[in-house]
């Protein structure tokens, strides 16, 4: 019979690509992870990884075992949560991910109210970029994540819309663009912009506006955090597009002549994952 702890170690190493990262994820020592994998390899009578220098690659046996191991762990996790939920008690650890912007600007009061109502819950937030949060949800490292929603999520992911987030073009008060009373989008083409990474949903929204008009977009090195982008814009390093809620006396909203742009914020979760009572209670309170 395959040992669940060994399967968990195998999936963690496969997912994270190293023994050290898997050990950190499982809160184990690296030798303990190696021992569990050796035990599993002995059980099935075949090596699961080829080790080439510091890199590891799944063997044919490992590739065959991985989807089955993931299904087994998912079913065990769902069964455990279903049994725990029978008590109807809202308690225990609640691990979720959130983008930095949502965590700083949308969640504080909501979490404060939730903790007041459910003091037995140990809230465990992980601040991640939206793209990384998607991966954490799919790897079952967190129960759900607060992120910028995307138009076509993977089939395994359920998206729940919670907020719309209007975006505005901004520049520092001393930037030459701030003196304009009206701007066409093509006037921004060759002026430096400070924007999120190209893989982010926010960048794709902005890029779409330029692509629809067949206009180029000149950016600096990508910046992952909106608060950092705001700081760089306030000192005059370029224009940007930020949530309207981040406007203050240091920034000027640029009068760009295009329809309003907004992004959608919400929650993502695995469709087939049974949520804990704590996770269900939090999501119910948001909706």
Confidence of residue 214 (pLDDT cuts 50, 70, 90): very high
Q: Which residue has the higher pLDDT, 208 or 220?
A: 208
Is 77's pLDDT higher than 80?
no
C-alpha 132/C-alpha 98 separation (Å) is 10
The Cβ-side half-sphere exposure at 202, using a 13 Å CA radius, reads 28
Residue 84 pLDDT exceeds 70 = no
Q: Where are the alpha helices (DSSP H) in the chain?
A: 4-16, 19-26, 30-44, 60-85, 100-105, 108-117, 130-138, 201-212, 226-234, 277-286
| Beta strands 121-127; 157-172: pairing state | unpaired
pLDDT (0 to 100) of residue 110:
92
| pLDDT at residue number 67 | 83
d(CA 189, CA 36): 55
Residue 36 is encoded by which pair of tokens? 């569990």
Is the pLDDT confidence value at 171 over 90?
Answer: yes
Residue 86, pLDDT above cutoff 70: no
Q: What mean pLDDT value characterizes the chain?
A: 88
- What's the pLDDT at 212? 92
- 3-class SS at 162? strand
Q: 72-75 long-range contacts, Cβ below 8 Å, gap at least 24?
A: 72/2, 72/4, 72/7, 73/4, 73/7, 73/8, 73/11, 73/140, 74/140, 74/272, 74/273
Q: Can you give the pLDDT at residue 49?
A: 85
What gap in Å lies between CA 152 and CA 253, rounded to an integer?
30
Kindly tell me the sign of the dihedral angle through the C-alpha atoms of 212, 216, 222, 225: negative
Render pLDDT for 235-250 as a digit per residue (tens, 0 to 9).
999 999 999 999 999 9
Quick one: 12 exposed, middle or buried, by C-beta within 10 A (0-12, 13-18, 19+)? buried
Closest to 188 (Cα-Cα) out of 142, 137, 241: 241
For 107-166, how does the pLDDT look when each residue is reduced to its tens digit (9 = 90+)?
Answer: 999 999 999 999 989 999 999 988 889 988 988 889 999 999 998 898 999 999 999 999
Q: What is the pTM of this model?
A: 0.72
What pLDDT is stored for residue 97 in this prediction? 96
Pairing of the two strands 261-270 and 240-243? unpaired
> Per the structure block, which two tokens stand in for 1?
């019979």
What does the pLDDT read at residue 99? 93
């Amino acid at each position: 019979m395959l040992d669940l702890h060994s399967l968990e170690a195998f999936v963690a190493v496969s997912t994270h690509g190293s023994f050290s990262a898997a050990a950190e994820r499982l809160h184990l020592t690296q030798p303990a992870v190696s021992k569990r994998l050796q035990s599993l390899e002995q059980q099935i009578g075949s090596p699961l990884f080829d080790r080439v220098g510091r890199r590891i690659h799944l063997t044919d046996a490992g590739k065959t075992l991985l989807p089955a191991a993931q299904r087994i762990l998912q079913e065990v996790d769902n069964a455990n949560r279903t049994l725990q939920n029978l008590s109807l008690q809202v308690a225990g650890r609640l691990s979720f991910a959130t983008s930095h912007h949502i965590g700083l600007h949308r969640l504080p009061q909501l979490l404060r109210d939730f903790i007041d109502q459910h003091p037995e819950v140990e809230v465990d937030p992980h601040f991640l970029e939206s793209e990384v949060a998607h991966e954490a949800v799919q790897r079952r490292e967190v129960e759900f994540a607060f992120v910028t929603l995307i138009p076509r999520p993977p089939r395994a992911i359920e998206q729940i819309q919670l907020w719309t987030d209007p975006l505005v073009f901004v520049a520092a008060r001393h930037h030459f663009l701030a003196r304009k009373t009206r701007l066409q989008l093509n006037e921004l083409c060759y002026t430096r912009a400070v924007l999120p990474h190209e893989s982010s949903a926010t960048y794709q929204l902005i890029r779409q506006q330029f692509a629809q008009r067949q206009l180029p977009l000149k950016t600096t090195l990508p910046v992952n955090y909106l608060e950092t982008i705001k700081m760089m814009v306030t000192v005059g390093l370029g224009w940007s597009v930020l949530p309207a809620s981040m406007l203050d006396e240091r920034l000027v909203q640029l009068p760009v002549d295009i329809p309003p742009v907004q992004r959608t914020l919400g929650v993502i979760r695995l469709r087939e994952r049974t949520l804990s009572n704590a996770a269900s209670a939090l999501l119910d309170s948001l909706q």
